[in-house]
Amino acid sequence: MNVLIIGGAGYIGSHMVALLAEHGADVTTFDNLSSGYRDSVIAGEFVHGDLADPYAIDAVLARKRFDAVMHFASYIQVGESVRNPAIYYRNNVANTLNLLQSMVAHDVKRFIFSSTAAVFGVPQTDLIDEEHVKAPINPYGASKLMVERMLADFDVAYGLKSVALRYFNAAGADPQARIGERHEPETHLIPLVLQAASGYRPNISVFGRDYQTADGTCIRDYIHVRDLADAHRLAIEHLLHTGSSEQFNLGNGNGYSVAEVIEVARRVTGRTIEVVDGPRREGDPAKLVANSTKAKAVLGWNPQFADLETIVKHAWAWEQRQLEARKG
C-alpha cells in the first residue's frame, strides 16, 4: 500500500509514518518543515514541499500511484486563530483545497483528514458523539469544519472518499521514545507540564480557575498519539474495503482537568512542579470529552494506551531524551 502523508514530519504525522511503515506500507512524507522536523521522519521517503504550491503537490502525486492521502499539515493553536484568523483560513482551508483539487486531477480517491473536537464548540452533552451540533467558537474549529464540508461536496461531485477523524487532545509519545511532541512554541498542556518538571521552564501556567468544573480548571479528553495513528490506519482499511465516507470522534471517553493532569505528572516524575495562575484563554470551552462508540464499532478501534498515567509516562521518557539533547 502506497500512502502519502502531508505533514508527516510533525507530531502526529511522524507517529503515523512510523506505524504505517511497521505495517509494511510504502510511505511518502510531504512537509515544508515549518513546524515539523526532518529527523522525526524515521521511515519512508521524504519530499520537501508546501501545500501553498499546487505545482509541488502535483509533482509528488505524479511520482507514484497512491492508495490514500493523509493530511496533518494544519495550524492548530486556538488562541492564535482568534488573533490572526486569516492565516488559519489560508493554510487550513485554501491549502487543503489545493491538495484536494490535485488529488482529483491525479485520480486519487481516498483521503484521511485530521479534524478536531473544536468543530463542536461548546458541548451540549457530557459525551460528544458525531451527531452533536457543530458550532465552532474559534476560527481553528471553523476552518476544520469548512474542510469537512468540502469533503462531503467532493465525494458527491468527484467520488473522492474520505474519513474525517475528530480527535480531542493528542498526547503522549512513541512508547520507545524515538519520536514525540516537539512544538515551537509549545502550547500543549502535558509537554508544558513535563518541561516544568524537568527544569526546562520555571513553571506551568493554569489558564482559568473559574470554569464550571469540579476544581475550576478546564477538562479535556487525552488520547495517546499512537492510538490516534492506529485509528488512521484503520480508516484507510475502512476506505479500501467499504468505500464509504465517514466521520469519527476519537477519545478515551474520560475527562481530566488541568489540575488533575499536573497532579499525575507530579506522581509520574517525582518532581515538584510550580504552578502560576493566569486568565482564561480565548476560545477555550470548559469541557470536551469524546464518545468514540462509532469508531470502535465501525473501525474496530481499540485504544491500547487509554490511561492518563501511561500517556504521561511515555511523554516523560521523551522529555528526558529532549532534555539530554538540549544539554548536548
Q: How many CB atoms lie within 10 A of CB 325?
A: 9
Q: Residues 140, 211, 222, 256: which is the catalytic one? A: 140
Q: What three-state secondary structure class fits 48?
A: strand
Burial class (CB in 10 A: 0-12, 13-18, 19+), 279: exposed
Average pLDDT of the segment spanning 111-116: 97
**Can you give the pLDDT at residue 281?**
79
Distance CA 142, CA 261 (A): 28
Could you tell me which residues come within 8 angstroms of residue 57 by beta carbon, excluding any fewer than 6 positions away?
30, 49, 51, 98, 99, 102
Confidence at 283, pLDDT banded by 50, 70, 90: low
Please tell me the pTM assigned to this model: 0.94
Band the pLDDT of 326: cuts 50, 70, 90: confident
Q: What is the pLDDT of residues 182-222, one digit of tens each?
A: 888 888 899 999 999 999 999 999 999 999 899 999 999 99
- Across 257-268, average pLDDT: 97
pLDDT in tens, 23-43: 999 999 999 999 999 999 999
Q: Amino acid identity, residue 84?
A: N
140 is known as an active-site residue: yes
Determine the Cα–Cα distance for residues 51 and 31; give it in Å rounded to an integer. 8
Three-state secondary structure call for residue 277: strand
pLDDT attached to residue 94: 98
For residues 258-280, give the mean pLDDT: 96
For 228-244, how does the pLDDT look when each residue is reduced to its tens digit (9 = 90+)?
999 999 999 999 998 89
Mind listing the pLDDT tens digit for each residue in 50-90? 999 999 999 999 999 999 999 999 999 888 999 999 999 99
Name 241's Cβ contacts closer than 8 Å, sequence gap at least 6.
none
> What is the predicted pLDDT for the residue at 276?
96
The tens digit of pLDDT for each residue in 121-177 reads 988 988 999 999 999 999 999 999 999 999 999 999 999 999 999 998 999 999 999
Contacts of 165 (CB under 8 A, 6+ apart): 112, 113, 114, 115, 228, 231, 232, 235, 247, 248, 250, 295
Name the average pLDDT for the chain.
95
- Residues of the chain above pLDDT 70, percent: 99
Contact between 92 and 28 (Cβ < 8 Å): no
Q: Answer yes or no: is pLDDT of 98 > 70.
A: yes
Q: Which set of grid coordinates corresponds to residue 198?
A: 524537568
Residue-wise DSSP of 158-208: H--EEEEEEESEEE---TTSSS----SS---HHHHHHHHHHTSSS-EEEE-
pLDDT given for residue 190 in this prediction: 96
pLDDT at site 180: 95
What average pLDDT does the segment 307-319 reach? 96
- The count of other CB atoms within 10 Å of the CB of residue 129 is 14
Q: Rounded to whole angstroms, how far apart are CA atoms 313 and 328?
A: 23
How high is the pLDDT of residue 328? Answer: 64
284: pLDDT strictly greater than 90: no
Residue 4 has pLDDT above 90, yes or no: yes
Alpha-carbon distance of 165 to 232, in angstroms, equals 8
309 φ/ψ angles, rounded to the nearest 5 degrees: -65, -40
At 243 the pLDDT is 83
- Distance CA(73)–CA(77), nearest Å, equals 13
Instruction: Return the sign of the alpha-carbon dihedral for residues 249, 237, 112, 159.
Output: negative
- Which domains are seen in the chain, by residue range? 2-171+223-250 (3.40.50.720), 189-220+253-327 (3.90.25.10)
Quick one: pLDDT at residue 322? 87
